[in-house]
Structure 1
Amino acid sequence: MIAMGITRKILSCLILLAVSKLALAAYPEKSIRLVVPFATGGTSEIVARSVANSLSNSLGQSVYVDNKPGGAGNIAMEEVKRANPDGYTLILGHVGTLAVNPALFGKKLPYDPNKDFAPVTLVAKVPNVIAVSAKSPYKTLGDLVGDAKKNPGKINYGSAGNGSAGHLAMEYFSSEAGIDLVHVPYKGSGPMLTDLIGGQIQATFNGLPSLMGQIKGGALRPLAVGSSERSKVLPGVATLSELGYKGFETSQWYGIMVPAGTPQSIIDKLQQEIAKSLKSKEDSKKMLEDGAVLVGDTPSQFATFIKLEQGRWAKVVEKAKISVD
């Protein structure tokens, strides 16, 4: 009886393995949706479209980007957690939705980033940059901080929305600098940048890819980089740590996630194809030009990274007393 039970278990394992191999061989048989939890025009879309284009080419099926903004990314995350775990619905994971929101929303968060999703790969890390209009009187970060201290509550900064990475980054910096800025949330980075350039708001702390075009074009002036090291595409701009805010670090990062229960074989195939594309200068040209640092790690490495970031941001949210407006 024991031998028969063992035989059945082995047979079951072999059947599951065979089914998994068949599913992998057939995958993908139709188009794949890549959900982005934010509005168009920001860093998230730049990263998502790069991944979608390269996967479309390598998988032989269309991978299309579907923007689902709202609720600091929570609306899209809640929708995707309920999607069929078959590899045909992916979501662009983000420092906000995966690491910050658990601390920010607590028990009100409508999803569990660690249980409702499976990580595929960390695609890119992106420096956050404090920037002002080229017409602004602020020539240095010291100018901005000095004016903010003289005029508390009178300087406006914009972000892509409540709970966005730019919102959290500036609140974090404000607490470290001892200044009081007024947050103006927008529905995406596009309209926020229009108002920043036009002078309706005075500053932003946004992801570099969304700012790079306007920096190159001379419409925006970068004052500081939030990453631990200077950006290769902005070598002349100092980090906040260099400017006296020792140990300060805030970067955005983006990775691909799938609903929990997605077959491991499909997760591995997606990871391998994305990692391959990130090594291709042609596939990743846009992200590299905009200052992204490309990664392409394994699912387990990405899972470990997410856990570490959750711990780090929980401390930041508590220390800076960050809340959603």
Structure 2
Amino acid sequence: MTSSPDTADRVIVPPGRLFVAVLVLLTAVAPLSIDMYLPAFPTIAEELGTTATGVQLSMTAFLIGMALGQLFVGPLSDGIGRRTPLLVGTFVCFVASVLCAVAPSIEVLIGARFLQGLGGAAGVVLARAIVSDTARGALAAKLLGALMIVSVIAPVAAPLGGGAIIAGIGWRGVFWIVAGLVLLMLLAAVVVAQESLPTEERTSGGIPATLRSAREVLANRTYTGYLLTFCLSFAALFAYIAASPFVIQNMLGFSATTFSLLFAVNAVAITVTSAITAALAGKVAYRRMTVGG
């Protein structure tokens, strides 16, 4: 999200409260879409006549869509502006959420989850980009902090809320509720979302420029080492996320509600550790904290 040298001369108009609320909801879509339906994994496998692997692929498809979406939406929005990709991505996410709710087979669910991740990526990327476009200094730090808090709280609350929803109206109800939230975001975005990136500050490098920059960055061995550590850590985390519903419910015999509570304990632990790490930043070497963790 490159800006021209004239950016500093532009009058910055901070986003209004309603727009900030929309940005917060956009940031929450990804963790809600990942964690809310976890307690229903065994039920989904039984109802759709598939295996644990099949249900886990629905999560993998979402993550692949999310990754690809972030890769392309960022550079695209640098060239054509934020509003159009935001509205299109949110609409795609809404349609995909409805398809998830009515999916007659695991194949349809996997495809719909891919589209859901692809569309949801727009909100994750552009919420932060819009903050960078419309706020500076302490206000920008405050808004980005609010988005980060949502990213931390949502994984804790999502399985608890999902467990309650599944117990009441089933796993399809989770996707109907996600679809309702995304529709609410879409309508709010149509009404309040104004273009935040002026034409004169847009760049034309697009995806090729992003790939060239990525190639240069990946040539740095130190960066690549930390990147691999980060990726492998997340791989371990999502291996747990995908397998734990079956292990805890099918093998250990706990209910979906109990699984939600156990999952929330892990999410709280990650939150606490993140807070401790942030407090130690600058006092303890990053390499030492990484190895210790």
Say yes or no: TM over 0.5.
no
Q: Larger strand proportion, structure 1 or 2? A: 1
Question: Normalization by structure 1: what TM-score?
Answer: 0.23
Question: Normalization by structure 2: what TM-score?
Answer: 0.25
Q: Larger helix proportion, structure 1 or 2? A: 2
Higher relative contact order (CA 8 A, sep 6+): 2
Give the number of the structure whose alpha-carbon radius of gyration is greater.
1
